[in-house]
Chains A and B, each alone.
Chain A
Amino acid sequence: MTKPTVASDWLCGCAGCHMSLLDIDERILQVVELVDLRATPITDLKEPDKTGVTVGILEGGINNTYNEEVAKRMRERCKILVALGDCAVFGGVPAMRNFVGVESALQRAYIDAESVDAGGLIPADPELAQMTRVRAVSEIVPVDVFIPGCPPDADVIFYALAELAQGRIPEIKNDKLHWH
């Protein structure tokens, strides 16, 4: 039997959920025994295989058109999509930007900020992704497994990976359910 394949990527987050993933310490060897870890943002291969993976993991919310593309690509290429962490599940801290809107957030960051001199300029290169309202991953593509937490506990991540590696859908409840 071939091992299930896993790919991950990060969107509008802080990489903390991937840090928490690494926080499973030596248990990662057990995970690697059970699964074939493919593309991740912290390994050489960055994009999930075109031939598809079993499990796709996304950290971070969707805050621009590039995030949308990455989320859609991951959804297309994986059987089970996991939203990892509060930003992917709910929108997270970056979503508080939604209170002020994209324009005033840009204005504050690139023009009004104390560290900006008189020549402040909002980036407008057409090559750049367009900023949007910050959304949860599930607002862009269907999500199969939600693992909230800011970041999720390493133990919860290990449990979820171990379940997924053995072909089961993890149940995040009781002691394993914490939003922060």
Chain B
Amino acid sequence: MIKLTIDGKQIEVKEGTTVLEAAEQAGVYVPTLCHHPQLTPYGGCRLCMVDVEGARTLQPSCTLPASEGMVVNTKSQKVLDARKFVLTLIFSERNHFCMYCQVSDGDCELQNRAYDEGMTHWDLQPNWTPYEVDASHPFIVLDNNRCILCRRCVRACDELVGNSTLGFEGRGAKSFLVADYGIPPGESTCVSCGTCVQICPTGALIDRQSAYQGKETDVDHHISVCTECSIGCVRDVLTRDNRLVRIEGEWDAEPTHGLLCEFGRFLPLEEDRARVVTPLVRKDGSLKAATWDEALEAIAAGLGAGKGLAALGSTRLPAEALAYFKSLFADKLNADTVTSLEEGGATASLSKLADKLGKSFESSLDVLKATEAVLSLELDLVKDHQVAGFFIKRQLQEGTKLFVAGQEDNALAKNAKGVLPLKPGSEAILLVKLVDAVENGTDDPDLAPVVEALKSAEKPVIVYGKTFAANADEIALDALLKLADLTGAALVGVKGNANSMAAAQLGLEAAFKPENASAAFIILGDEAPTAKLTKALEEVPFVVALSAYESQLTGGADVVLPVAMWAEESGSYLSMDGRLQKAIKSLDAPEGVLTTLETLEKVAGALKAQPDQGWKASLMARIPTIQIQEA
């Protein structure tokens, strides 16, 4: 421990603590701009300068390690003058016009720091050289006029996302933020995760969806889990007047600490499908608006029970709705098939393995954050479950070795140390070969480096996706377990949609056979139906669809009931690593549109069935592939 004095307060801190962190622990506020808790200290803006007794000049507290007996003053006149001077230089370096902006108050960190220092004015004029604004990117606008060269965005792109798209060209005052080697951001390697926009302290990087739409202090915040995939990133949904304004990552929240991908951050605001706002019933061959009573009567008359009835629910639905759905159709109506829209593809083989072993065998996503070797089996973390891909990519420059086994079009392959071609169906062959190579050595030039990396790494990780889960047979899975056992590798299964694992725990994993169905009950929620499902349902004589949006599937259904979309209902989600998290309602549904659970309760009432309400118990009734914990 190190003892030091900050503004007269004695404090003891751990070795390696910076003066800025020590000040924070002592309850002393030191203003910063380039610093961000999620990033490595940089010392670029000089706003955090402090007076250290015995030091020749002021020192940047963010990069200065605390040392024994240090006496620090953060409020000397010299420090206060330096802060104003630093801010004056920053303001005059580019073209900052927050002074004339009606809506910037409270939104801009640069402006807030200047207010904190009581700056009524500064003595230097702006640059008066206009810089081009680039709006080539679909979601992000880059405005070098407002850039303070703090490089938070560059460091975030590099350290947190591992994409290294952003960088600077030029030197000194002529440094400019660029994408790749100076190409328009819209044509760059950017993956649209938006971390740079969220971390920018000024308006140099803004998102097109929410910019210039009023003050940020003037919105409602809803801290909620993302429902776009099974990772379960925690995000803040910002709304104003029942309208989505923006989505941001929560820096302090597990498991991804503020990271989101384009699916979680930007695409929900691009939703342009037409809403289903009233019950629809097919009359004389065409769908017509109907009352709830008419629609429920039509369902009761056409659905039947038991044989020939198939029920499918989206894995984007809250666990409460999925459990109720299962109880209604499996326990009360004895439907032939009760499953999820994923039909267990992402989970069934793994759930079975957990049953066989009698215990959980997977590890949490966290193991991907610090590992020396990763073997990825049949999944493309650039395409989906992107944040898991960020965890891998950001470690590659630290020397983590990535090996990719899968189809040739896998986008992660270009970052890999080695690629093992793997066609669906041949999982067992590859894994058995790998096990043999670990046990007996190998001359195979493809396998040798994989084996070497897995064996030498302290905590190697084998991560697999839904293609693997759907195709791996018992031999493949046994080989996988053995490989993990031999190399000490942690197994991470990314699964499918947001509640893929909840569906697995409820046993909603059967395959849907449309040819055997005389009636089908489909809960799409806000999921866009696949062409395959739409086609399959064409064969089914009577189809009920619960959907937030119109689609070809709802167009072909016999009864359609409107339901809430993701932002309009609260509920629980079980992430790929067993984290039970809450999604919080952030918007009111259109008049007359109910949540999925409320809609199902109406249906149950019409069918005179009384499903069980104990959703949590039914979620825990089965051995999970990874321990479930309430977050």
Contact = CB atoms under 8 A, between A and B. Distances in A.
Contacts of A138: 121, 123
Given A135-B125, A178-B105, A150 B118 contact: no
B212 to A, nearest CB: 15
Contacts of B97: 96
Interface stretch (A31-39, A87-95, A117-125): A87-95
A148 B121 contact: yes
B104 interface: yes
Contact of B99 (A90, A135, A172, A174): A90
Contacts of A92: 99-100
A93 B126 CA distance: 13
Nearest to A99: B130
Nearest to A93: B100
B125 A180 contact: no
B100 A150 contact: yes
Interface residues of B, number: 19
Categorize the interface residue count of chain A.
20 to 34
B128 interface: yes
Given A99-B130, A177-B115, A179-B111, A146 B99 contact: no
B80 to A, nearest CB: 13
A98 B125 CA distance: 11
Contacts of A157: none
A138 to B, nearest CB: 7
Contacts of B123: 138
B440 interface: no
A136 interface: yes
B99 A179 contact: yes
B617 interface: no
Contact of B125 (A136, A173, A179): A136
Interface in A120-137: 135-136
A74 to B, nearest CB: 17
Contacts of B98: 179-180
B213 interface: no
Given A98-B128, A99-B130, A179-B111, A90 B121 contact: yes
A99 B128 contact: yes
- Chain B contact residues: helix, strand, loop or mixed: loop
Contacts of A135: 125
Contacts of A139: 125
B214 to A, nearest CB: 14
Interface in B74-121: 95, 97-102, 104-105, 111, 115, 118-121
A83 interface: yes
Nearest to A96: B97
A146 B128 contact: no
A177 B105 contact: no
A177 B118 contact: yes
Nearest to A139: B125
Contacts of A148: 99, 120-121
A147 interface: yes
Contacts of B100: 86, 92-93, 150, 179-180
A150 B98 CA distance: 11
Contacts of B99: 86, 89-90, 92, 148, 150, 179-180
A146 B101 CA distance: 18
Contacts of A147: 120
Interface string A132-156: 0001101100010011101000000
Given A93-B100, A99-B130, A179-B111, A146 B120 contact: yes
A98 B115 CA distance: 26
Contacts of A98: 128
B401 to A, nearest CB: 51
Given A91-B125, A98-B128, A135-B125, A180 B120 contact: no
Contacts of B101: 180
A180 B105 contact: yes
A89 B102 contact: no
Contacts of A143: 121
22 contacts: A86-B99, A89-B99, A89-B121, A90-B99, A90-B121, A92-B99, A93-B100, A98-B128, A135-B125, A136-B121, A136-B125, A138-B123, A147-B120, A148-B99, A150-B100, A177-B119, A177-B120, A178-B105, A179-B98, A180-B99, A180-B100, A180-B104
Given A146-B120, A172-B118, A173-B118, 5 more contacts: A93-B100, A99-B128, A135-B125, A143-B121, A177-B120
Interface of B: 95, 97-102, 104-105, 111, 115, 118-121, 123, 125, 128, 130
